[in-house]
Amino acid sequence: VCLFVCLFSFDRSSSFVINRRYLKELNNPADVGADGKGRVYVHNFEDEQSDSEDEAFDPQLLRMRSALVPTANSMLDLATELEQDDLSDFEESDDEFKHDGAGGGGATGDEPLESGAERFLREMRETVQRGEKDNLDVDGVLLECAALKLSHDATVIEYGRSVMWALLELVDPQPDASEGADASLSRPMLASLQKLVQRWHSLLGKYGRETADQVQLLQGIEACVLDPAAVHYMSLFPYALRFLYDADVMEEDAILEWEKLALSEETVARKKLLSKTKEFLDALKEEGEEDDEEESESDDDEESDGDSDSSSDSD
């Protein structure tokens, strides 16, 4: 469809005339493109009040009012150009993401990108360890950890793994990583771990109100010390259980249920872990048996007292 570029205006006698004065300029290819067709609206400047009769029509203002209507081919070329620009921008931003490690979450060089679980683990460790080093309020750190768990849609197992990993890395002095699962322990290590658990146990307690939740937290702690990157903390596992038990974060039923699950899916690494934990588990079972015996004796005493009272009444 050919559209003629016309400039219409009213003269002082209100007659409708074609203003050919600007026709050539309106059809400037710089405005409408080499193959462009357009229709330009021109404001009726003659009716505007002006303080000076020398005020001339501004061609630049006319260009600003021009509405460009490109041909079909021009539109196709423009769409192709925009698509190529978008792809180019996407490739550049993707390349920056892969090689920019300044943000903490990107990989540098040929390093692989973090998975969602790895990123959650890293952010949780950073949060808990910052809280300990800067002596932050426990409740404030707990809110941050809860927000991270929610934003990453992490499971209780992943949460327990991350919290315990962070605490184990704060133990001072650290076990010798070169010794692996058989890393030797010292009294200062155990004292450090106990202090950390006493201060930060509520991070785990928040998601361990029910026995089933406690079992999942224990599975997460287990996953931590079975990880090849943290296997040198395996010897600290039974002591961590003991300290969590003393802090009322883990109940006897949950710990024994975790043992059953570990035995049902026993591997070489898990077998080693259970061997290291056996002493604590046996002590826990003995305590439970003693408590049961005391409760049984107490019930028997109450029954015998009741029988004696009833016999004295009959007399």
pLDDT in tens, 183-212: 999 999 999 999 999 999 999 999 999 999
CA pair distance 159, 10, nearest whole angstrom: 78
Residue 16's beta-bridge partner residues? 10
Evaluate whether 154 touches 200 at the Cβ level (below 8 Å): no
pLDDT by residue (tens digit) across 5-17? 444 444 444 444 4
Distance CA 51, CA 67 (A): 30
Mean of all residue pLDDT scores within the chain: 79
Instruction: Kindly tell me the number of DSSP H helices and DSSP E strands found in the chain.
Output: 12, 4
Confidence of residue 296 (pLDDT cuts 50, 70, 90): confident
DSSP-derived pairing of the beta strands 8-10 and 16-18: antiparallel
Instruction: Record the pTM.
Output: 0.62
Contact 148, 122 (CB under 8 A): no
